[in-house]
Amino acid sequence: MLIDFFYTLRAAKLKVSVKEFLTLLEGLKAGVIGPSVDEFYMLARTTLVKDETQYDKFDRAFAAYFKGVELLTDFTKDVPLEWLRKTLELELSPEEKAAIEKMGWDELMETLKKRFEEQKERHEGGNRMIGTGGTSPFGAYGYNPQGIRIGQDKGRNRSAVKVWDQRAYKDYDDTRELGTRNIKVALRRLRRFAREGADLELDLEDTIHATAANAGLLDIKMVPERHNKVKVLLLMDVGGTMDEHVHRVEELFSAAKTEFKHLEFFYFHNCLYDFVWKNNRRRFSEKTPTWDLIRTYNKDYKLIFVGDATMSPYEILQPGGSVEYNNEEPGAEWLQRMTNAFPRFAWINPEPQGVWQYRQSIAIVQQLMNQRMFPLTLAGLEGAMRLLSK
């Protein structure tokens, strides 16, 4: 049974190794969990999944494999009715307990046991066997005012006693658009800590070893304090077509401010020109010359552009191409100056990657960025962070 489960996870593109699978089997053999699918789910996820971004894939593969009672239960063994009764009681509210008395606990459990023993194949419809789409108290996607729901992704009548395959980590799939927590997970790939500064931090492990080697006489060992040395210069496009992406860019900005101690940010519109700003309400009265960015911040800063790169090609390639003022130099010149000044750079694009090939301006910006453009997905953001950390 579990060999097929292992192959199901591999088919779902989860990086599950044989060693990890053997760890799961050792845990089962040692009896670290009881006869509970929920406990098996937690044990399997703990031993087999190494990255929380893979939780949603695991949940879907787990639910797909254990859908259907023929994969859920060994019919040759007795169903532990007392365990089922106690487990189900924990799931019920007082109102649900009162409603279930219509059928009776003992009768419900005894009937479920008989169905397990009698049924040898998948069943759909009907009012008796374990299956789907019927009125039996056991199964999924059917109707019964009191019953046990087995293998269903969500409730219909909200009267089932047990849900086997509820997905708890829907937001971690690396193909999904990001939330603030997911963005933080991706941004941490860029964070690098270095030991620098004075001896201010106690090295507890080394102190213990040194004291033991010194016949029990205390020998304190210190190490330099750890500092987050990553420096980020974040330039964000605002207005126009970027209005469609405000929510996700705000999430990215919020996560970046939390994750990076040394973060400098500025705004631009459509394409970078000879000035940027920090306050959109005073964008024309409180300008920061782009040259000042190059003079002020050194090459240690990681340069990140955030924008949809969707505009007229003239705004990038021609003097006077800006839609807001008469720029003396084309935006392409400023983009090249910035990327030359900051060798570690990337462009994050909130537009779906599938439309990039149909936007001439995106192709131009990609070329100016040396193809260092990434979509605003978890996988895309992690790719950008890996590039910037090199």
Euclidean distance between CA atoms 330 and 317, whole angstroms:
5
What would you report as the CA-atom Rg of the chain, rounded to the nearest whole angstrom? 29
Euclidean distance between CA atoms 228 and 259, whole angstroms:
10
Return the exposure string of 33-43: e unless at least 16 CB atoms fall within 10 Å of the residue's CB, then b: beeebeebbeb
Q: Is residue 177 part of a domain?
A: no
What is the domain count for the chain? 3
- Picking from 66, 85, 102, the residue at the C-terminal end of a domain is 66
Q: Are residues 347 and 269 in the same domain?
A: yes
Domain that holds residue 308: 229-388
Per-residue pLDDT of the chain (390 residues; tens, 9 = 90+): 678 888 888 888 888 888 888 888 888 888 888 877 778 888 888 888 877 667 778 888 888 777 653 344 443 444 455 555 555 555 556 776 666 566 555 666 666 566 656 655 555 545 444 444 454 544 544 444 444 444 444 444 433 333 344 554 444 444 444 565 666 666 665 554 334 444 566 778 888 888 888 888 888 887 765 556 788 999 999 988 898 888 888 888 888 887 788 889 999 999 999 999 998 877 778 899 999 999 999 999 999 999 999 999 999 999 999 988 899 999 999 999 999 999 999 999 999 998 999 899 999 999 999 999 999 988 888 889 889 887
Q: Are residues 207 and 290 in the same domain?
A: no
Q: Are residues 310 and 345 in the same domain?
A: yes
Q: Are residues 260 and 339 in the same domain?
A: yes
